[in-house]
Amino acid sequence: MAPLTLKRYVRQWVNHLAGCRAFATTASRQKPEHVRIVEVGPRDGLQNEKQTIPFKTKIELCERLARTGLDTIEAGSFVSPKWVPQMDNSSVMLEHMLETPPSAPGGVTYQWLLPNQKGLDRFLSTCEAFSRSASSSYSNPSRMRPVGADQGPALNTSAQDPNEMPSATSAADAMSSYPTPPPSPAPSNNQGRALNTSSRGSNAMPFSPPGSASSQNPSSLSFPSSTSHEISLFCAATESFSQRNTNCSIAESLARFHPIIAHAKARGVKARAYISVALGCPFDGPSAPAPGAVTDIAASLLEMGADAISVADTTGMGTPPRTRELLRALSAAGIRREDVALHFHDTYGMALVNTLVALEHGIRTFDAAVGGLGGCPFSPGATGNVATEEMVYFLDSLGLRTGVDLMEVSRIGEWINGELSRDHGIGSRVGKASLSRARWTEKQGKQ
């Protein structure tokens, strides 16, 4: 039996023995389960905007979000500024956030999307410069911690995230400034580590106090205490979308990721991988791809070292039956729910319904964007991500715990939509309603 086939067989068997955990149990009602929200607004939400967004605005957005209780924020992307001008200053943003970490009630992980080795090189170059500077200027080692210590979630959240690719005339153009590898066969059997099949809590990679572990890897980078920085990659679940979005086949895309993930892991940097158009493709239709195609890609990514997979409904075409079918396929393939996040767009108003289906299946990590920002330039008709305000309110109403301040997120949603000259109520009805009620209550109290 080939190594990868054996790994997948083991995962399937362990998953079968573990059984499926029910969503609504007496224990969960007595002690609310934690659900992690990965905030993708600063990157996926802003990258498709036509107007220029000031650097100060993007920094303020990240700083304000960090104070809401969110523990994972996708802050930028290292793609070609020629095609994604809004991400032009991601290197400067990363440098700023390393030198002046946003204050937060707890630890925060910042994620940075990149399309290829060149993007990783830019990310690592910025981090290495900070590490050298910090090692010579910080006399108190407790202020720094090496990457590779248990730094919290690598979450699980688009190259345009499934909703996050360059806003170029075509996706192929967006990738043209980066070297595209020649056609390659599917990744070899030697894919890296076998998946961890030990039991874990409902959220992968739980956050540990800063400095709780030290890295044994001398090549690891160092980040400010209470923060960590990770990378995210993206691929597509259909050949049509892959060719238009990344100018290569799915197999070539996976072959490209393998050395990137290996390089990042060698430096102690965790990697998250997005699978775009997993519940409907703008070119192949709402029934594509087949669930098996998504599970094969997810298994390959995890086997080559990805720490988490974000399965994305890029088009918003996903329905409850399709979502349930896909989650069952992932489970049958031995892919643990702790390794999976879901990324929904609310194009057809199905995002929260699909979220409920995922919760019942045991998924506890979801992507969202403050104010409902975002969209996919290569998916006609796709609107923004499900709003963080909507997600927090929905999960709270089910008795689940997010640790996110709904009112503060609503204020941020109103502010950033105002900066973009948008109506906050269109992106987030919950945000608008929450603020209206709070203001009415405050007014009544003054009378």
DSSP letter for each residue of 178-219: SPPPPP-PSPPS--SSPPP-S---SSSS----TTSS----TT
The residue type of 219 is S
Which residues neighbour 140 within 8 Å (Cβ) at sequence distance 6 or greater? none
Q: Which of 17-39 are b and which e, b meaning 16 or more Cβ less than 10 Å from the residue's Cβ?
A: eeeeeebeeeebeeeebbbbbbb
Q: Give the active site residues.
A: 376
- Residue pair 181/252 in contact (Cβ under 8 Å)? The answer is yes
CA distances 56 to 100, 101, 290, Å, are 13, 15, 43
State the sign of the Cα–Cα–Cα–Cα dihedral 245, 250, 253, 257.
positive
Rounded (to 5) percent helix, strand, coil in the chain:
45, 15, 45
Q: Which residue, among 316, 384, 383, 403, has the nearest Cα to 355 in the 3D structure?
A: 316
- Residue pair 380/282 in contact (Cβ under 8 Å)? The answer is yes
- Residue pair 428/411 in contact (Cβ under 8 Å)? The answer is no
- Residue pair 396/406 in contact (Cβ under 8 Å)? The answer is yes
Quote the radius of gyration of the chain (alpha carbons, Å): 20
CA–CA separation, 16 vs 19, rounded Å? 5
The residue type of 333 is A
Q: Which of 202-226 are b and which e, b meaning 16 or more Cβ less than 10 Å from the residue's Cβ?
A: bbbbebeebbeeebeeeebbbbbbb
Q: How many CB atoms lie within 10 A of CB 398?
A: 15
CA–CA separation, 266 vs 189, rounded Å? 20
- Residue pair 255/181 in contact (Cβ under 8 Å)? The answer is yes
Structure tokens at 319: 């329905």
Structure tokens at 204: 């992968």
- Residue pair 39/74 in contact (Cβ under 8 Å)? The answer is yes
Q: Which residue, among 211, 86, 82, 38, has the nearest Cα to 140 in the 3D structure?
A: 211
